[in-house]
Amino acid sequence: MATAMVISSANSLLAMLNEPHPHLKVHALSNLNAFVDNFWPEISTSVTLIESLYEDEEFDQRQLAALLVSKVFYYLGELNDSLSYALGAGPLFDVSEDSDYVHTLLAKAIDEYAALRSKELNREAVKVDPRLEAIVERMLDKCILEGKFQQAIGIAVECRRLDKLEEAITKSDNIQGTLSYCINISHTFVNLREYRREVLLLLVKIYQKLPTPDYLSICQCLMDLDDPEGVVSILEKLLRSANKDEALLAFQIAFDLVENERQAFLLNVRDRLPEPKLKPSEVPQHGSSEPVGAQNQEVNAGSDQTSPSEDVSMADEANTPVSNVMDPAEVTYADRLVKVKGILSGETSIQLTLQFLYSHNRSDLLILKTIKQSVEMRNSVCHSATINANAIMHAGTTVDTFLRENLDWLSRATNWAKFSATAGLGVIHRGHLQQGRSLMAPYLPQSGAVGGGSPYSEGGALYALGLIHANHGEGIKQFLRDSLRSTNVEVIQHGACLGLGLSSLGTADEEIYDDVKNVLYTDSAVAGEAAGISMGLLMVGSGSEKASEMLAYAHETQHEKIIRGLALGIALTVYGREEEADTLIEQLTRDQDPILRYGGMYALALAYRGTANNKAIRQLLHFAVSDVSDDVRRTAVLALGFVLYSEPEQVDSTNCFSLI
């Protein structure tokens, strides 16, 4: 009866490594590899001998020796050396093996490869080991073969292998679901903005190859890529479709784009949508009963239908009257085009929102009346607080009953309280685009010039117009520009600048920028502060080089209010720009002026908002505990909220509470 052989030591096998015959060495290596989990401490004493076998090019089992050395170094905790010899083991390193050794080294290999690929694509002088690349590719192929597509996608994205990413998506059993998963991880885990753009471009290409493309997701990607032309081509195709469902899809896409509130992008799409095609009308034959085309315009109004043909026969051919008509398909397209432009301009959704807020307004005026009666008339702080509470309670509802019923009480506001009280009307009537100017007319400067009223009231009215038309300022920005140009009163300039910034949010309009810059260069503290903020609102998210110009002026001026306004404005310009903003953030955070460092904290907050970026978090934590300015430290802690808002569970791990 055969008994199982029990091995209590590896010394005999290690001794066989010194034998001259190659077969004995191979036998020893094979058995040592099988028992390395138990005898690695003994084997580690002869690791130099095993390494020499790997280095011997005449030894035909070099890869087996490399695998054994790799496992020994793994147990010794030397993962770099272990991975190096695992690469030398070639195919003997089995990526499908279910062991801690393989799992650990695969994770190490993927991390190493991802780091090298990142440096390589950043044009750093590095060379990726082809053996390392082969291991990662084998791992990717294994995941795809076994149907672990999400795992393959994660590895491919991390290693910047867009070819393998495309392969994993196209071979998955649910391409639409896989694409949605890719979009999600590209926004959640891809920290570099430029690389995220490459991933989104690939996803758009795959989407477009599908038999039934998901146009909604494609347009969302195109908006992230800032490609209005691509969105226009899709919308035009859907609007011209004979299928009513596709036209409805175009409207849904427009609504989804509007939800992102990127005014400049939406206006680009709206203005590039092609108009209906007109064609010359065919001359009707004599005796025809109706003109050609569904909406044919009569050549001679009031004449009977035979007279055009009679005129044609008598007139010179060059003078033949020709009218432009649209065929029925173009008529349908024109009707749909009007609707989609209304959606893209924001008017449709704003009207729906106004109706909803008005019909669902549940604010209690009795609370306001009680507060008003409880507040001392001479207490301006409480007076302003009551006015602001009313504005917030009725924001967007267009219900200004409390103000109309208490005009005498309201008139007691003075100076900046009067400015805020008038601006509060803009909060209440936000989105009332059609009647916004007429509602504010009693408070506005007359014909763009200074009226007979208080400059604080007039400045607040211009600010209110900006609030009403925030992010939808096509119809009001010219009036605000005229008001800004025609006054030298700094309070009115203050309101006009803020109104222009809000109404032209993110449009990067050069002419408006120059108007606001001229106000900034007057070096008025009150107007200059608003001008700095307005420039930031105008250029929000653009990453514009104007930020350098704003920073230069912040160093020149002596007014703290202007510096603070410019600091906030500079921070707004880098909104969502992530690593592209690093140079400017470095300049701000290293500045000697604490107000500009304060702006640097907001720049970090806005550039990396919602990304949970480790680098940004480390910087903010550093300033939160080390800066000499209370303002900077406080703002750094606030900025952590901006960076972590999408992952609030991480707040505990960043030790934010220890800063309190």
Of the candidates 347, 386, 352, 353, which has an alpha carbon nearest to the alpha carbon of residue 369?
386
Hey, where are the domains in the chain?
10-92, 214-276+330-345, 370-446+453-539
149 membership: H or E segment, kind and range = helix 149-158
Return d(Cα 352, Cα 343) in angstroms, integer. 11
Return d(Cα 484, Cα 132) in angstroms, integer. 63
pLDDT for res 297: 40
pLDDT for res 634: 94
Tokens representing 362 are 């549940």
Of the candidates 260, 255, 414, which has an alpha carbon nearest to the alpha carbon of residue 349?
255
436 membership: H or E segment, kind and range = helix 436-440
Sort 424 into a burial class: Cβ within 10 Å, 0-12 / 13-18 / 19+: buried
Which residues sit opposite 325 in a β-bridge? Answer: 279
Segments in the chain below pLDDT 50: 1-5, 281-323, 448-451
Q: In the predicted model, what is the mean pLDDT of the chain?
A: 84
pLDDT for res 296: 40
Residues 6+ apart with CB under 8 A from 552: none
DSSP string computed for 203-247: HHHHHHHSSS--HHHHHHHHHHTT-HHHHHHHHHHHHT-S-HHHH
Of the candidates 235, 226, 177, 247, which has an alpha carbon nearest to the alpha carbon of residue 206?
177
Spell out the SS3 assignment of 70-137: HHHHHHHCCHHHHHHHHHHCHHHCCCCCCCHHHHHHHHHHHHHHHHHHHHHHCCCCCCCCHHHHHHHH
Q: Which residues of 152-188 are buried (b: 16+ CB within 10 A; e: fewer)?
A: bbbbbbbbbbeebbebbbeebeebeebbebbbeebee
Question: Torsions phi, psi of 324, nearest 5?
Answer: -90, 135
Return d(Cα 296, Cα 326) in angstroms, integer. 7
Cβ–Cβ < 8 Å for 276, 286: no
Other C-beta atoms within 10 Å of 15: how many? 12
The CATH number of 370-446+453-539 is 1.25.10.10
Please state whether the predicted TM-score (pTM) of the whole model is above 0.85: no
Cβ–Cβ < 8 Å for 375, 383: yes
Residues 6+ apart with CB under 8 A from 577: 193, 541, 543, 607
Cβ–Cβ < 8 Å for 573, 544: yes
Return d(Cα 118, Cα 194) in angstroms, integer. 12
Distance from the Cα of residue 297 to its chain's centroid: 47
Return d(Cα 371, Cα 652) in angstroms, integer. 39
Which residues sit opposite 324 in a β-bridge? Answer: 280
Return d(Cα 400, Cα 390) in angstroms, integer. 9
Calculate ∠ Cα 139-141-143, nearest 5°: 70
DSSP string computed for 461-506: HHHHHHHHTTT--TTTHHHHHHHHHT---HHHHHHHHHHHHHHTTT
Return d(Cα 636, Cα 638) in angstroms, integer. 5
DSSP string computed for 270-303: HHHSPPPPPEEPPPPPTT-SS-SSTTPPPSSTTS
